Chain A
Amino acid sequence: MVEFLTDLGTALPRLLAEGLRDTLLSFLGGAVLMVLVAVVLGVSMHQGSRWLRVVARVVVEFFRGTSLVVQLFFLFYVLPSLTGMDSLGGTWTAILALGLNYGAYGAEVVRGSLNAVPAGQWETATALSMPWQTKMRRVIWPQAWALMLPGFNNLMVMLVKGTAVVGLVLLNDLTFESEQVRREVGTWPAFLAALLIYFVIAWSVSLVLRRLEARAQRRLGLGDFEVRKARQDADQVMAGAAAPGGSTGTR
C-alpha cells in the first residue's frame, strides 16, 4: 500500500510535467474550434437557405458518421499528400480533428436549442420587423444559449476524454506519457495517475459549464420543465447520428 502510494506519488508529477501540456492544448484548441463549428453549422442547419441547410446537414452527418480516429488519421496521413503541403503537425491535426468531430455533434445541440425556443418568440420578433441579426442576438440566442449549455457540458467532457487519442498523431499527451511511466512505476500507479488527472480536468470543465448554465437560466427565469427537457435532449444528442434535438416549437 505504501509502495503503491509512493509509486503514485512518482507518477503524478511526471505526468503533470510531461503529458499535461499536449492534453490541455488539444482540449483548449479543440474546444474553441468545436464551439465555432457548432454555432456555424447549427445556425446554418436551422436558419440557412435550403441549399445551405443541405450542405450543413451533409457536413454534420459526415463528421458524426465516420469515426474520430479515422478523421485524425485522414488529416495526418492523407491531407498532406492530397494538397501537396507539409503536414499540419500533430497539434494542429489533433485540434482540427477534435474540433470538427465534436463540433458536428455540437451543431445538433445548437440546432435543437434554436428549435426549442417557442415559436411565439420567433413570430413576435418578426412581427416587430426586427432585422435578422437583432432578432437572433437580442431575442432568440439568449434563450437558445441557456438550452444548449447542458449539451455543451456533455460534449466538453467527451472532448476531454477524446484528447486521449492524440498520442496516435505523435503528441506526448497524458495517455502516451502514462505508458512510458508504466515501465518505471508499474501498471496501476501509472494509469491511475493519468485517470485521476483526466477526471479532475473533466470535472472542473463540467463545473464551469454548470455555473454558466445556472447563470443563463437565472437570467431568463427558466422553469424546471424546460431545464429538464434540455438535459434530456443533451443526453440524446451525444449518442448517434440523426439525433432528435428539441421537438417543441415549429420552426
Chain B
Amino acid sequence: MFETELFLEALPILVVAFLKVTLVVTVASSLLAAVLGLVWAIALRELPGPLARPLAFVLDFIRMTPLPVHLLVIYYAFTGLSPMTVGILVFGVHYSTYMAESYRAGIESIRKGQWEAAKALSLPQSRTWRAVILPQAVRNTLPSLGNWAIAMFKDTPFLIFISVPEMVTRAREFGGQNFSYIEAMSLAGLLFLLASYPTAVLMQKLEKKLAY
C-alpha cells in the first residue's frame, strides 16, 4: 500500500520543485504584493474620488474572482512571458489587493492627532507619509502581510493550470508514472504543513510582540 521506497524516490523530486518553483514564486510574489499593496492603499487615500473609485472597483473585482482564471488569461494573452513570470505577476497582483486592505486597516489605526500634528508642523504630505504615518502603520500591518504570504504559499499549486512544474504538479506526475499516488501526495501535503505551520506560529508570536 504505502511503499517507503517510492516515498524516498519522490522526496528529492518534490524538494527540488519546492525550492525551485514554490518557494521562488512565494517569495517574489510576496514582495511584489507587499509593494503594490502599499501603492494601492496610499493611492486610494490620496487620489481624487473620480480616480480612486474605479481603482477601488478594480481591486474588489480582482479580489472577488478566482486566481486560476487570472493565471489563464494572462498566460494566453501574453504568450511572450514565461509561465513562471506569469505566475509571479498574477500571484503578486492578486494578493496585493488583499494586502492593500491590510495596509488600509493599519493606516486607519493611526490616530487623527498624528496627521494633525504633521500638518501643524507644516510637513509636506510626502514626508508625513514617509516619516510619520507609514512607520507606525506598517508595524501594525506586518503580521497580517505575513499571513497573506502564507495563504499565497498554499495557493501555489494553482500554477498547475498554466503547466508550471511546481510541487503538486510533480507529485501528480510521479503518482501517474508509478501507478501509486499516496506516497508523493502525502509528501507534498507534509511539505506544505512543515513549511506553513511554523511560519504561521512565528507570525502569531510577531503579532503579540508588536502589539502595544
Residue in A73, A179, A202 whose beta carbon sits within 8 Å of that of B185 in the complex: A73
B79 nearest CB neighbor, chain A only: A187
Bound form: Cα–Cα A195–B72 in Å: 11
Least CB distance, A226 to chain B, in whole angstroms: 17
B7 at the interface (CB under 8 A from A): no
Residue in A163, A195, A239 whose beta carbon sits within 8 Å of that of B147 in the complex: A239
By the criterion CB–CB under 8 Å, are B65 and A240 in contact? no
Of A42-50, A112-120, A241-249, the stretch lying at the interface with chain B is A241-249
Residue in B154, B155, B160, B171 whose beta carbon sits within 8 Å of that of A168 in the complex: B160
Least CB distance, A129 to chain B, in whole angstroms: 37
**Chain A residues near B61 (CB, 8 Å)?**
195, 199
By the criterion CB–CB under 8 Å, are B192 and A67 in contact? yes
A188 at the interface (CB under 8 A from B): yes
By the criterion CB–CB under 8 Å, are B151 and A70 in contact? no
Least CB distance, A67 to chain B, in whole angstroms: 4
Query: Known contacts A70-B157, A70-B168, A191-B72: does B66 contact A65 (CB below 8 Å)?
Result: no
B81 at the interface (CB under 8 A from A): no
A73 nearest CB neighbor, chain B only: B185
Interface residue ranges of B69-89 to A (CB < 8 Å): 69-70, 72-73, 76-77
By the criterion CB–CB under 8 Å, are B185 and A240 in contact? no
Interface residue ranges of A125-178 to B (CB < 8 Å): 157, 160-165, 168, 175, 178
Which size class do A's interface residues fall under?
Answer: 35 or more
Question: Which of B66, B77, B196 has most chain A Cβ within 10 Å?
Answer: B66
By the criterion CB–CB under 8 Å, are B76 and A77 in contact? no
By the criterion CB–CB under 8 Å, are A241 and B65 in contact? no
Interface of A is mostly: helix
In the complex, per-residue mask of A187-208: 1 if CB is within 8 Å of any chain B CB, else 0 = 1100110110011001100100
Least CB distance, B141 to chain A, in whole angstroms: 11
By the criterion CB–CB under 8 Å, are A165 and B158 in contact? yes
A250 at the interface (CB under 8 A from B): no
A214 at the interface (CB under 8 A from B): no
In the complex, per-residue mask of A83-114: 1 if CB is within 8 Å of any chain B CB, else 0 = 00000000000000000000000000000000
Query: Known contacts A78-B181, A240-B200: does B65 contact A195 (CB below 8 Å)?
Result: yes
Residues of chain B at interface, number, CB under 8 A: 51
B28 at the interface (CB under 8 A from A): no
In the complex, per-residue mask of A231-242: 1 if CB is within 8 Å of any chain B CB, else 0 = 010011011111
By the criterion CB–CB under 8 Å, are A68 and B154 in contact? yes
Query: Known contacts A82-B1, A165-B68: does B168 contact A69 (CB below 8 Å)?
Result: yes
By the criterion CB–CB under 8 Å, are A240 and B66 in contact? no
By the criterion CB–CB under 8 Å, are A73 and B76 in contact? no
Question: Which of B154, B168, B171, B186 has most chain A Cβ within 10 Å?
Answer: B154
By the criterion CB–CB under 8 Å, are A202 and B65 in contact? yes
Bound form: Cα–Cα A165–B73 in Å: 15
By the criterion CB–CB under 8 Å, are A73 and B181 in contact? yes
In the complex, per-residue mask of B170-212: 1 if CB is within 8 Å of any chain A CB, else 0 = 0110010000111001101110110011011101100100000
Query: Known contacts A62-B193, A164-B69: does B150 contact A241 (CB below 8 Å)?
Result: yes
A74 at the interface (CB under 8 A from B): yes
By the criterion CB–CB under 8 Å, are A67 and B182 in contact? no
By the criterion CB–CB under 8 Å, are A178 and B69 in contact? yes
**Chain A residues near B69 (CB, 8 Å)?**
164, 175, 178, 191, 194-195, 198
Least CB distance, A136 to chain B, in whole angstroms: 28
Residue in B72, B168, B186 whose beta carbon sits within 8 Å of that of A178 in the complex: B72
Least CB distance, A181 to chain B, in whole angstroms: 12
By the criterion CB–CB under 8 Å, are B168 and A240 in contact? no
By the criterion CB–CB under 8 Å, are B196 and A239 in contact? no
**Chain B residues near A235 (CB, 8 Å)?**
101-102, 105, 144
By the criterion CB–CB under 8 Å, are B65 and A199 in contact? yes
**A residues at B contact (CB < 8 Å):** 61-62, 65-71, 73-74, 77-78, 81-82, 157, 160-165, 168, 175, 178-179, 182, 187-188, 191-192, 194-195, 198-199, 202-203, 206, 232, 235-236, 238-244
Sorted from nearest, which 7 A-B pairs have the closest CB atoms?
A239-B147, A164-B66, A69-B157, A241-B200, A77-B181, A240-B147, A66-B189
Q: List 13 A-B contacts (CB under 8 A).
A: A61-B197, A65-B197, A66-B190, A67-B154, A74-B181, A74-B185, A77-B175, A78-B182, A81-B1, A81-B182, A187-B73, A235-B105, A235-B144
